[in-house]
Structure 1
Amino acid sequence: MKTHVRCGTLFSAGDQEARSGQTLVYDARGILEFVGPTEQAPRAAPAEPVLDYSRQFVMPGLIDVHVHLAYGNAKSEEDIDLYSPLEFRALRGLFFAQKLLAAGYTALCSPGDAGQVSLSIRNAIRAGLFDGPRITAAGPYITARQSLTDWYPSWIGAPSTSIGRLVTNRDEAIEEIRVQAKNGVDCVKIALDGIQRRPDGSLIAAFTEDETAAMVREIQRLGRKAVVHAIGREAVLYAARAGVDLIFHAFDLDDECIDAALKGGSAIAPTLTFQRNIIEFTQPHDPAANNGRVGHVQRQYERACRNLAKAHKAGVPMLAGTDSGFAVTPYGEWHARELEIFVNDLGFTPAEALSAATRVNARFLADAERVGTLEPGRSADFIALDGSPLEAISILLDKSRIHAVHLGGKRMTLTERGYDPREVTDKALVNWSDVYTQARVAELRRDTPLRRAAE
């Protein structure tokens, strides 16, 4: 039994063109057998279904390579690491993975989670227990002292429920890589940025260049992809020289980093949606509005766009990801915003942006040979849209425009379900937002009379 799909416009992602009057044909396993002009397509047998998307724009399912399924739309590091057991995080992550699928994202990479949360979600979906996107999964970040995810005081240490696995020497790092490979990860993530800065303000990498190269060699020797979090120039350079598969962020890269990335074959996923949302969505009452973070992120964003546009022009492959899983990047909401940023701020054409979120992203995934383009032999993962993102890339953010989502040929029908954030992740307690010294109370009283306890 074959299924025939009549497409109004088809963007197969095999090239930069969209074509009208096209048909897809896939078999009972959801594997494409024909992609091409309708007049050349095999005739449908009487019993075979024909899907009429002749008024829609059909394209491969979208891919986000930076989704943290274990975070739960967190507002703080404590929300991520401490207040929910791993078992609940896995169930919660599956729920949120389905939010992505409903938004047209048929595949994702979850690069760095606590325990085996993303692995468990991936395996449950692969086993057919639940509907959900195809998942490329990592384990906890490999982190060093004073690097990303080592954010608790030394007298507390790294909790076992943290998204970071603290290593204190090269042997521990190699052992952790081997444990994760044994557990079945698709990729291993290194927290390569440090939090210490030089007098000129530049970030000091958390690992030395030799340590970075040793970890990357072991990751790739075991057949896994190596990914890093690297904003600072030094970390980006170490990663590129080591031949890392994917660098997240790379905001402070320079010409030397670009040359190293081109030579070593490293790709970059800028993940600018997270920064853009912080700038635009932070409210005056949010702590981030009062600690200078928004201004810092604004300057960082502007610098990143200049540097990354240069890297794109030089030919460094750019992948699309959003850092979804935080309160400012909730699941299923802003994934296509990265494509808007690619077009508006990095110099991509809409077709290049669509290719980044499909064909280019797919090269990194565990399912690379099956997804990313619509061509014979690939999986029938596709979406049908009311409107063309080649004319207005922002329509991908409008969920009402998503006419249909197909995964392996099967049309996904996922019920929209709300949830209570206080029961899901928003559990870090903050009873007061200030320290009420006499001076502070006097200042507040000048602005607004304070309520008395008896009122």
Structure 2
Amino acid sequence: MRYLHLFFISFLTISSSFSQLKALVGGTLIDGFGSTPIKNSIIIIEGDRIKAIGQVGTLEIPKGSEIISTEGMSVMPGLWDMHVHLMINGHADYAYWDKTYPPLFEEVIMPASAHQLLMAGVTSARDLGGPLKESLSVRDRIAKGEIPGPTLYVSGPFIQKKPYPGTEAFRWGVANEKEAREKVSRLAKAGVDCIKLIDQDQMSQNVVNAIVDEAHKNDLTVVAHGHRPEEIRKGLLAGVDCFEHTGLSSSPEYPVDVMEMIKERTAQMNLGPLYWTPTVEGLYNYEYVRDNQEKLDNPEWHLGLPDTVVSDIKNSFQHPDRLPYFQLTPIRKPTLERKVNQLKDAGVVLLIGTDSGIPMKFHIQSTWNELDVWVNEFGFDPMYTIRAATYWPAKIMGVEKEYGTISEGKYADIIAIKGDVLRYISLLQEVDMVIKHGERVK
């Protein structure tokens, strides 16, 4: 009986091991490193990790594996979106939203945003600007598997000179160097993943320096707005790691002195890359969305939101053509391609990020649009663009040994799409399969 008992335990152990094995078979693998895609690929997943990669006919599939066909599909790392706002969901009136919905942020709004991102194939995301407690709570509950969503990297509150009235819960003002260091240290001790700095052109250079220095002492990257030339100048002098956006103005290009500073920074290889998240799709596509409102009627963005909240969001953009947020967009739009190419040509590493959550931009729809604009409007190489949404985000966040590419030993964060995404990048608008940490969630 004792031997029978041991045999039964051994059998259960083997069965459990087999049940954790999956084999993705037949698809074209785009691994995130930028090399030639692997046709007829096989990816073996054991538990939450990638065990082996090969091709049909050369890699043996372990017995008992769950076979998942990816024939006719592009298979690639899960996407990253490096600029999302989980606390907003497309509502067009920020002042009203900030006053009305904070009580729902932690349990309703932010979890809904996270779930939508995951269903869009975004398996990792950087949330830039949100209330501290709620941001950490949602991040950690996702990590524990309590709620669905991408692996999150959160900044908590914005750091700026003075918060806008009514936003003190998620915008922290700093008046001097001492306060700057204290608040960055407080965020670091709370466990944020990066620091979000805005309006630094309104601060003294010493205060900006203190913010960046304190963050770096705590092994945190600093993500800063790059809307205005002086924001960029002060950020570069302080050693900011990553800039966001391509500017609020209708200036046709970045000033010469700013570009010289950027080129000087990218030439300093010992400092590593200078990163930039342009977030162009919201502005670039505004006029199309305004005139073709099918996406506003698409119920996919309702996922996780109560009907009352959905109705409130809908009512906020009954007249998309009248929204103050976008009135300068027709003037700014023609400058976006030139500015992004200036950055690219200067050696900046560009990252995919969307500002998802801004008016009429929903988490379940935004990310693929950014890739689409880069490829089909700006003419960027599709592989370059995919790496900006996979390899490079993992690199700046310091997790490239665990995420960002499909390679042995890394977490199995994988998406699959019917068709050839290198020829038709817009196929990403309908991700057919999403695997996060080895678990198929879509």
Is TM-score (shorter-chain normalized) higher than 0.5?
Answer: yes
One-letter identity of the residue aligned with 2:358: F
1:34 deviation in Å? 1.1
Are 2:387 and 1:362 equivalent residues in the alignment? no
One-letter identity of the residue aligned with 2:233: L
In the alignment, which of 71, 75, 79 is matched to residue 58 of structure 1? 75
1:292 deviation in Å? 7.1
Are 2:343 and 1:311 equivalent residues in the alignment? yes
In the alignment, which of 378, 385, 390 is matched to residue 353 of structure 1? 385
Aligned counterpart, 1:385: 417
Partner Cα distance (1:266, 1:250) in 2: 15
Q: Cα 1:211–1:270, aligned 2, differ >3 Å: closer, same or farther?
A: same
1:365 deviation in Å? 3.1
Partner Cα distance (1:75, 1:256) in 2: 37
Q: Cα 1:173–1:309, aligned 2, differ >3 Å: closer, same or farther?
A: same
Partner Cα distance (2:265, 2:338) in 1: 17
Aligned counterpart, 2:196: 189
1:247 deviation in Å? 0.5
Aligned counterpart, 2:99: 82
Q: Cα 1:367–1:302, aligned 2, differ >3 Å: closer, same or farther?
A: same
1:286 deviation in Å? 6.9
1:135 deviation in Å? 0.5
Contact 1:319 1:360 in 2 (8 A): yes
Contact 1:64 1:109 in 2 (8 A): yes
Partner Cα distance (1:403, 1:167) in 2: 45
1:210 deviation in Å? 2.7
Aligned counterpart, 1:411: 440
Are 2:427 and 1:395 equivalent residues in the alignment? yes
Q: Encode CA deviations 1:388-421: one digit per residue, 9 max, x unaligned.
A: 1101111112x2xx221100111004xxxxxxxx
Partner Cα distance (1:308, 1:342) in 2: 9
Are 2:241 and 1:245 equivalent residues in the alignment? yes
Partner Cα distance (1:405, 1:292) in 2: 37
Q: Encode CA deviations 1:90-143: one digit per residue, 9 max, x unaligned.
A: 432112211111111111110111232221111001112122211011111011
In the alignment, which of 17, 20, 23 is matched to residue 4 of structure 1? 23
Q: Encode CA deviations 1:347-401: one digit per residue, 9 max, x unaligned.
A: 411111111111112223364421110001111111111111101111112x2xx
1:172 deviation in Å? 1.3
Q: Secondary structure at the match of 1:335?
A: helix
Q: Cα 1:386–1:240, aligned 2, differ >3 Å: closer, same or farther?
A: same
Aligned counterpart, 2:90: 73
Q: Secondary structure at the match of 1:377?
A: coil
Q: Describe how 1:58-207 pairs up with structure 2 within 5 A.
A: 58-86=75-103, 88-145=105-162, 150-152=163-165, 158-161=166-169, 163-192=170-199, 205-207=201-203
Q: CA RMSD in A?
A: 2.3
| Aligned residue pairs, count | 387
Contact 2:129 2:157 in 1 (8 A): yes
Aligned counterpart, 2:314: none
Contact 1:86 1:115 in 2 (8 A): no
Q: Secondary structure at the match of 2:211?
A: helix
TM-score w.r.t. length of structure 1: 0.79
- Aligned identity (percent) is 26
Q: Cα 1:288–1:98, aligned 2, differ >3 Å: closer, same or farther?
A: closer
Aligned counterpart, 2:262: 258
TM-score w.r.t. length of structure 2: 0.82
Contact 1:230 1:236 in 2 (8 A): yes
Are 2:380 and 1:372 equivalent residues in the alignment? no
Partner Cα distance (2:204, 2:285) in 1: 32
Aligned counterpart, 1:222: 218
RCO comparison, higher one (Cα < 8 Å, 6+): 2
One-letter identity of the residue aligned with 1:166: G
Gaps of 5+ in 2: 1-16, 248-252, 294-316
Partner Cα distance (1:276, 1:286) in 2: 20
1:242 deviation in Å? 2.2
One-letter identity of the residue aligned with 1:188: I
Q: Secondary structure at the match of 1:116?
A: helix
- The answer to which of 272-281 and 123-132 deviates more is 272-281
Contact 1:56 1:384 in 2 (8 A): yes
Partner Cα distance (2:409, 2:187) in 1: 31
